[in-house]
Amino acid sequence: MSFLKDLRKAYPHMSILRFINIYDAFQNDDSLLEKLDLAEATAVEEDREGSRKLQELGELMSVSEQHHKLKFVVPAGVDLEHVQALIMYGFLMPGQDKAYIGGKVLPERHVRTNVKNKLGIRYDLTMYGGALQYLKKEGVLNQQSSGSREEALSLKSGSDAKTRIHGEQILRVSLEYERVSRRKQ
């Protein structure tokens, strides 16, 4: 029994069931240690592969979640996460010295890239487009042409006659977040 216990300690990575099955099948065979070595090497490789996959999953899940701090509602046909991400990473820019509010504009392609980078695998171009159109319709964004006639955007610094009810709520929450977060820096 002590031999079996010591033998098991030499092969810690394989499952106990696998170890016992190999031992039972080859206990009177000269190839027992060879079979256990092979099974242990396979178990170590599977552990490495599992660790690699877990690390990859962790990297995919390390998407910034700051946009969920913006609490407002949107209609059922509009993706809330993309709207939140558009405002947070397209205009408020947490962790940056500047925010794109009022007259300070950013080309739309840069806004899209920022949102895509932050959402990672959850980014969807169609949902992004719907969220952008919704924010424009609600009067939340300033729209200008940059020097290259490319559309440039910024978050409005306050509501105006073009801002709708949901747009006012979104602006109020967003600008309050901006005010509080900049004060903390």
Is residue 16 located within the same domain as residue 85?
A: no
pLDDT tier at 62, thresholds 50, 70, 90: very low
pLDDT tier at 58, thresholds 50, 70, 90: low
pLDDT value for 137: 95
Number of independent structural domains in the chain: 2
Q: What is the pLDDT of residues 96-125, one digit of tens each?
A: 888 999 988 999 999 999 999 999 889 999
3-state secondary structure of 15: coil
CB < 8 Å & 24+ apart, contacts of 148-153: 150/107, 150/108, 150/109, 151/107, 151/108, 152/105, 152/106, 152/107, 152/108, 153/90, 153/91, 153/100, 153/105, 153/106, 153/107, 153/108, 153/111
pLDDT value for 63: 45
Is residue 32 located within the same domain as residue 81?
A: no
Question: Could you give phi then psi for residue 155, rounded to 5 degrees?
Answer: -80, 135
Is residue 171 located within the same domain as residue 155?
A: yes
CB contact set of 105 (below 8 Å; sequence gap of 6+) = 142, 144, 146, 152, 153, 154
Q: Which of 83, 65, 96, 95 is nearest to 155 (CA)?
A: 83
Is residue 112 located within the same domain as residue 167?
A: yes
Alpha carbon distance 46, 144 (integer Å): 55
Mean pLDDT (whole number) for 144-150 = 69
Is residue 70 located within the same domain as residue 157?
A: yes
DSSP type of residue 97: S
Mean pLDDT (whole number) for 22-45 = 93
Is residue 97 located within the same domain as residue 113?
A: yes
Domain span holding position 124: 66-184
pLDDT tier at 54, thresholds 50, 70, 90: confident
The domain that holds 123 is classified in CATH as 1.10.10
Instruction: Please indicate, yes or no, whether the overall pTM of this predicted structure exceeds 0.75.
Output: no
Q: What is the pLDDT of residues 64-100, one digit of tens each?
A: 677 878 889 999 999 999 999 999 999 998 878 889 9
Residue 16 has pLDDT above 80, yes or no: yes
